[in-house]
Amino acid sequence: MQSLFPNLQSFFVSASDSVRPVLSGMANPFASMFKFKQTPSDRKLAVKVKNTIALNRMARDLESSQPSLAAELRYFASR
């Protein structure tokens, strides 16, 4: 039981680290629900979020075979 809590803590820390850039970069998360016109900055933000998700997905796929490349992809995704 004592080893369960540190493992859960590391899980939630890594989960929040991967979700924070997506959520903090969104100007208005409910804009798509109300069908507002997208401004150019909204489109740029949407492209940035898509790229971040794609880089994190690639990093997850490469984690076991090439950990250093996965770390670099995560670094680029955080920028």
pLDDT digits (tens, 9 = 90+) for 34-65: 665 778 888 888 899 999 999 999 999 888 89
What's the CA dihedral at 55, 78, 38, 32 to 10 degrees?
70
How many distinct structural domains can be found in the chain?
A: 1
Range of the domain at 12: 4-27+36-78
pLDDT, residue 39, reads: 81
Question: Which pLDDT band holds residue 27 (cuts at 50, 70, 90)?
Answer: low
Q: Whole-model pTM?
A: 0.50
Which segment, 2-6, 15-19, 36-40, is predicted with the most confidence on average? 36-40
Helix axes 67-78, 40-62, angle to 10 degrees: 170
40: left (phi over 0), alpha (psi -120 to 50) or beta: alpha
